[in-house]
Structures are given as C-alpha cells and as structure tokens.
Chain A
Amino acid sequence: MSDVVALGKAGVAIRKANDAGRGALIGYLPAGFPSYDGGVDGIKALIDGGVDVVEIGLPYSDPVMDGVTIQRATEVALAGGLRTRDVLSTVEKVAAYSDVPLLVMTYWNPVERYGVDRFAADFAAAGGAGLITPDLIPDEGAEWIAAADKYELDKVFLVSPSSTDARIAMTTANCRGFVYATAVMGVTGARDKPSDLAAPLVARVKSATGLPVGVGLGISNGDQAAGVAAFADAAIVGAALVKALQDGGPAGVRKLTEGLAEGVRREPRAPAVR
C-alpha cells in the first residue's frame, strides 16, 4: 500500500498543515445538537473557524467513552428525534459547503444495525471521508475494514497509553487517515492540566507507523492545542466545542475554533518525518 493511499483524505489534510510548519486542528461536534439545523450550523462554524478535519458525532444511547458534556448533547440530539439517516444528510450538507474532510465518530452498534456495507456506501455517497470507531478494535473490525477499503474510506482506530507496543503496531497497520491517540486514561471532557501520558504515547506510535498522529481528550483552549502541536501532528478538540456551541451558538464555536487554530500555529515546527 502506497503512502498516499494510507494517508487517506484526513491524512492528506493533516500533512498539508504539517508541511506548512504547523499542527493540524480536528474539531468535533455531534450531529443534531442543539437541533438538526443548529448542528449543521455549528459544524459550518468549525470550518469557518479554521479546522483542518471535521469530526461529526453520531449520537448513541450508550456512549461509554464520553464524559458528561458530550453525553448530554447527544441525549438532546436523540430526544429531538435524530436518526442515522439525519447524520448522513448532515454529512451531505456540510460536504456541499466545504472540501474539509468529514469523519464520523460512531459507536459500533448503529453502523452494524444499518448494515456495515450499506452504511459505508451511503456515507461515501454523502461525501464522508471515514469513520472514527471508539469501541471497535481492529480485532473485531474485519467487516468494517473490508467496507472501508471497498469505498476508500479512512479507518481511524484508537490507541491508548495502556496499549502494548504489539497492539500499537497491529492497530496502526489497520488505520488509514491518521491514528487517534487518547491523551489520558479516561473519557472525553475538558481537563485543566495537560496529560503527561500523551507525548510518550505519540513517540511509541511514531516508531510503529508513518501515519499522522492526532491527540485528543482534554484539550479545550489555544494554549493546550499549542502544547499538543509541539509533539503531535494534530490536536483533536471535542467537549470544549460542544460547550461553546451550547453557550455561544455558532459564533461561540467559531471564536473558540479560531483560538485553537492560532494555538496549533504558535510554535513553528519541522515538516513531518516520513
């Protein structure tokens, strides 16, 4: 497999940022929050604020990797009647608005219920770039991996500070787009202190793969994004943006995103090692 193929759509966008001497910024918002249209507007504000890759959450009834901010937002979305097809149409609307790669972050059961191949086909047709799968490990992911390869979608699996080197090697070998490194042992949500587990994890991942590495969990402001951009290829921000949308609407999202985008540009960095 050539580097270009393994980089996928998200990986190309991240490397473009890295080649410009900065870290990339990945922003998350769930579809359907605070309403269907409000969700679309929030995601457009992420793009206007300067994210390099968008991560759209597919709301799920049992989100075990999410802290209370994202739990509450996805509960609102589901209570508002959001369906899987509405997430796909959200993707379609945002894809018509911008060329920024759109990933969907989803727990596994909604995809399995929709039909893995059917979901991949409809998602690709809507303009989606790939999936981030927080509760699907490659060990259980044969069906998804086949569908992603068939429809040329990015496959972003997670690695954790607890992952063994052997698991990091296996997981990164199955990724396309980038590798999602969780900075802490814990769930999503803003945190005051930077994690001291993230940098060593990124170093371990980089010794296993040439793919870009994004770091997420706990990043909420430009200073933290700058800190992460010093050692990782991309900073991933979720709960803080959800809170910004809740408190300040699309304008609030845009303002926070601009601050984060400034953060990942703060320290000049060497081009990525290939």
Chain B
Amino acid sequence: MSTVLPDQFGHFGRFGGRFMPEALIAPLDELTQAWREAMADPEFTGEFERMLREYIGAPSLLYDATRLSDVAGSRILLKREDLNHTGAHKIRNAIGQALLTKRMGKPRVIAETGAGQHGVATATACAYLGLECVVYMGEVDTERQALNVARMRLLGAEVISVKTGSRTLKDAINEALRDWVASVDKTHYILGTAAGSHPFPAMVRDFVRGIGDEAREQSLALLGKLPDAAVASVGGGSNAIGLFTAFIGDDEVKLYGIEPGGDGFETGRHAATITAGQVGVLHGARSFLLQDEDGQTIESHSISAGLDYPGVGPEHAWLADTGRATYRPITDAEAMEAFRLLSKTEGIIPAIESAHAVAGALDIAKELGPEATILVNLSGRGDKDMDTAATWFGLGGSDE
C-alpha cells in the first residue's frame, strides 16, 4: 500500500470529497493547482525545508524514553514535536500554508482555532512572512484560553470571538468559511488540521508528514529497523497523519490513532469520532462524525481542547475502514495519569493531546510486550495545560 490517495476529486475511498458552496469550488481548484505546482517546485520545497530547519528547529529529536519504558514494559521512543518553535507540530502546517499563500500572491490569512495552538502557529507564521492574519475562535474558547488570545494579539493577529452556535471550534470553522466565501480573492484560509474539503486533507498531510519521515529515518539509525508500532492522538488528525504517512507502506509497523474518550464512551461525553461516530458530511468532507439521528452535529467533550472536535479527517476514516490503522479511545482520567507519569519519569510535561498518545502506548505496550518498540508522537508541550493540570491534580499554591 502506498500513499496514492486521494484521487483527483479528493476521495479516500468513500470518504473525503468536496461538500462546499459552489462559490468556493473554483478557488479550491486554484488552491489545488497552486499546491501541486508548489510541491513540484524545488524552490518552494527548498524554502519550506529551510524554514523548518532554521525557524522551527526541525528535525525534532527522537528520544529514547528509558525510564518511561521501564514502567511501560516496551521500549518507547518519543518524537519530540513539543520542542518545535511555538511548542507543537502545528507550526509545520502553518508555515507551509503561509508560504503557499505568499506564492499565490494573497496578502491575507484567516484561521480557526480551538485551544489556540493553531491560531498561535498561524499568527507566528504570518508575522514571520509578513501576512495579515485574522483568527476565529469560539467565545467559550477565548474565555478559557485567554493566554493564547494574548499571544496571538502580540504576534499581530486580529482575534475574532465567535458568538454563534455552540461558540467553540466547529463554530469558529463555520465563521472562517463564511469569511472565506466573501474574501477568497485576497485571502487564504489556513485550516489547522488534515480535514475539510479537498485539497486540505492531502495538502496539510504534505506539510506535516515530515514528522513521520524524520522519525522513520531516526528509528532506522537508532534501532537498525523500524518500530513495531506508531502511536498518535487524533482530534482532526494532523499530528497522526503526519506520523503515519511515512509508515503506511510498511506493513510491519502497526498504526494506532488514540481518540479522546472524554468521560468515557458510555457517558456520551467524548470526542471519539471514529470509535463512536457515524458516516456523514461536515465542514466539506464525508467522514465519521458525532451526529444525532437527524444529522445535526453533536457537541464533543474532551479535557484536551485540541482534540475536542466532532469530526475527523477523511484519510483517518479510510485508514480505519481498511483496517490499516486502529483507533481506540483513552479517557480524560487515563490521559491525565499519563500526563503525570511522563512528567515524573522523564521530566517532560506533554500537551494533554499528546498525553492521550502516551496513555494509548502504555496499553499497547501490555499487548506487544518487552521486545516491542513503540514510536509515540509527542505532538506538543504542556505549558498551556498547566491550569487544567493544577485543577485536576489539586496542585494549588498553598502548602498544606
């Protein structure tokens, strides 16, 4: 199996495609052509690689987590995307699409953000490349992620609080799409995950696949062979597709996507889209989504704002359908235990998103045993999550 999908219409098997207003179809065609030409142009890819190296700090380290491995029972390797500039893998996509925006001659960028990580990454890329930047963020999220709002504003972006619908990430995407319909001749929409309408799932994959390409090479150098499994958390799915793409053709490498199980699958309060959702259309593509009997989107729940999305990228739906990758949920409580475990055993405080992947790896280690090597995408750092962690673990300031 190799990465020949999507087809020219953006379909991954029965998933993906374009469920978009006609007004955006011609602009999406232009974007598809610009992206394909850019990826075939050594000047563009060379510039992208230079920025990754000199500005982001790529390749990120592959770290042999020996003390965590002692607890886990398998050898755990961590792909340290948390060490990237701005603290997560998101910057790879933001800088790639921002560079493409410049190439298309568009002066303005819009983006959506939930927790604020993609918004900060996009604001950073726009500051670096001199682009105007507007970030849509649900009102609920602007309140609970005030620090990231301040970061974006400091970086020169305008942050617009979205007050319609559930006032969270999905509504921020809706509002960004409404802006884009009216502004597309001068504006590029930097979607933050490998979801949405064609070409976004494939284009975002191109910009984040360095995660897996680097890790594959680093694994071969360290182990002399490939890891037995690759594990990543899945919200929309960009860090996971970034890790998986290099290994899709390596049948001996098992792929695991870890979904946010929230309070537990049985409570209905979760964001485990592939595990618990049904096939439908949301935000421009057919995939799995959390929806009610009438096809109305159901609000998702996760302690991790970055995974709190009721949809998932269409390539993950396809990988699940074909059985090439396995998707399973991890609850908030399990993720927070892994958050603490990694902090205490390795001195690495992960993003809660990435803690889901670590928790998933602990379960997988029990299944694969001591001879196995498990590669985990540590997609981001946990500084942004300290308020949540302090509340969860009762780490307040008083020394009782």
Interface residues of A (CB under 8 A from B): 60-65, 67-68, 71-72, 75, 78, 83-84, 108-114, 134-137, 139-140, 157-164, 167, 171, 182, 184-187
Contact with A along B1-44 (1 / 0, CB 8 A): 00000000100000001111111111100000000000000000
B20, A135: Cβ atoms closer than 8 Å: yes
A135, B296: Cβ atoms closer than 8 Å: no
B25, A137: Cβ atoms closer than 8 Å: yes
B264 contacts A by Cβ under 8 Å:
no
Instruction: List residues of chain A with CB within 8 A of the CB of B17.
Output: 140
A134–chain B nearest beta-carbon distance, Å: 6
Instruction: List residues of chain A with CB within 8 A of the CB of B283.
Output: 62, 64
B156 contacts A by Cβ under 8 Å:
no
Instruction: List residues of chain B with CB within 8 A of the CB of A163.
Output: 22-23, 25-26
Q: Kindly specify which of B49-57, B123-131, B178-186, B343-351 makes contact with the partner chain.
A: B178-186
Contact among A75, A113, A135, A187 for B280, CB-based, below 8 A: A113
B164 contacts A by Cβ under 8 Å:
yes
Instruction: List residues of chain B with CB within 8 A of the CB of A134.
Output: 21
Q: Kindly specify which of B205-213, B287-295, B371-379, B380-388 makes contact with the partner chain.
A: B287-295
Q: Residue among A67, A140, A167, A182 with the most chain B CB within 10 A? A: A140
B296, A60: Cβ atoms closer than 8 Å: yes
B294, A110: Cβ atoms closer than 8 Å: yes
B104–chain A nearest beta-carbon distance, Å: 15
A202–B297 CA distance with the chains assembled, in angstroms: 35
Contact among A109, A139, A140 for B295, CB-based, below 8 A: A109
Instruction: List residues of chain A with CB within 8 A of the CB of B178.
Output: 64-65, 67, 186-187
A103–B368 CA distance with the chains assembled, in angstroms: 57
Contact among A60, A167, A186 for B22, CB-based, below 8 A: A167
A60–B165 CA distance with the chains assembled, in angstroms: 10
A164–chain B nearest beta-carbon distance, Å: 6
A57–B120 CA distance with the chains assembled, in angstroms: 37
Return the chain B residue nearest A160 by Cβ.
B23
B21, A135: Cβ atoms closer than 8 Å: yes
A113–B293 CA distance with the chains assembled, in angstroms: 7
Instruction: List residues of chain B with CB within 8 A of the CB of A111.
Output: 295
A112, B295: Cβ atoms closer than 8 Å: yes
Instruction: List residues of chain B with CB within 8 A of the CB of A71.
Output: 164-165
Instruction: List residues of chain B with CB within 8 A of the CB of A67.
Output: 178
Within 8 A of A (CB), among B168-188: 170-171, 174, 177-178, 181-185
B376–chain A nearest beta-carbon distance, Å: 33
21 contacts between A and B (CB under 8 A): A62-B174, A62-B282, A64-B174, A65-B181, A68-B164, A71-B164, A84-B295, A108-B281, A109-B291, A110-B295, A113-B293, A114-B294, A137-B19, A139-B9, A162-B26, A163-B22, A163-B23, A164-B26, A167-B25, A182-B22, A187-B182
Within 8 A of A (CB), among B252-302: 278, 280-284, 291, 293-297
Seed contacts A114-B295, A182-B21; 20 additional CB < 8 Å A-B pairs: A60-B296, A75-B165, A83-B294, A84-B294, A84-B295, A109-B280, A109-B281, A112-B280, A113-B278, A113-B295, A135-B284, A137-B18, A137-B25, A139-B18, A140-B17, A140-B18, A158-B23, A162-B26, A163-B26, A185-B23
Return the chain B residue nearest A141 by Cβ.
B19
B296, A167: Cβ atoms closer than 8 Å: no
Return the chain A residue nearest B178 by Cβ.
A187
A68–B164 CA distance with the chains assembled, in angstroms: 8
A170–chain B nearest beta-carbon distance, Å: 10
A186, B181: Cβ atoms closer than 8 Å: yes
Contact with A along B185-217 (1 / 0, CB 8 A): 100000000000000000000000000000000
A159–B283 CA distance with the chains assembled, in angstroms: 19
A182, B23: Cβ atoms closer than 8 Å: yes
Return the chain B residue nearest A67 by Cβ.
B178
B335–chain A nearest beta-carbon distance, Å: 27
Instruction: List residues of chain A with CB within 8 A of the CB of B20.
Output: 135, 137
A227–B26 CA distance with the chains assembled, in angstroms: 28
Instruction: List residues of chain A with CB within 8 A of the CB of B182.
Output: 184-187
A162, B296: Cβ atoms closer than 8 Å: no
Instruction: List residues of chain A with CB within 8 A of the CB of B284.
Output: 135
Instruction: List residues of chain B with CB within 8 A of the CB of A159.
Output: 22
Contact among A64, A72, A113, A160 for B294, CB-based, below 8 A: A113
Instruction: List residues of chain B with CB within 8 A of the CB of A60.
Output: 295-296
Q: Residue among B22, B26, B171, B181 with the most chain A CB within 10 A? A: B22
A111–B296 CA distance with the chains assembled, in angstroms: 11
B310–chain A nearest beta-carbon distance, Å: 9
A264–chain B nearest beta-carbon distance, Å: 25
Instruction: List residues of chain B with CB within 8 A of the CB of A68.
Output: 164
Instruction: List residues of chain B with CB within 8 A of the CB of A187.
Output: 178, 181-182
Contact among A61, A62, A83, A158 for B21, CB-based, below 8 A: A158
A238–chain B nearest beta-carbon distance, Å: 15
A167–B296 CA distance with the chains assembled, in angstroms: 30
Return the chain B residue nearest A138 by Cβ.
B22
Instruction: List residues of chain B with CB within 8 A of the CB of A61.
Output: 165, 296-297
Q: Residue among B20, B178, B278 with the most chain A CB within 10 A? A: B178
Instruction: List residues of chain B with CB within 8 A of the CB of A64.
Output: 21, 174, 177-178, 181, 283
Instruction: List residues of chain B with CB within 8 A of the CB of A78.
Output: 296
Return the chain B residue nearest A187 by Cβ.
B178
Instruction: List residues of chain B with CB within 8 A of the CB of A184.
Output: 182
A157, B22: Cβ atoms closer than 8 Å: yes
A274–B178 CA distance with the chains assembled, in angstroms: 36
Return the chain A residue nearest B163 by Cβ.
A68
Return the chain A residue nearest B291 by Cβ.
A113
B184, A185: Cβ atoms closer than 8 Å: yes
A75–B281 CA distance with the chains assembled, in angstroms: 19
A72–B293 CA distance with the chains assembled, in angstroms: 22
Instruction: List residues of chain B with CB within 8 A of the CB of A164.
Output: 26
Instruction: List residues of chain B with CB within 8 A of the CB of A186.
Output: 178, 181-182
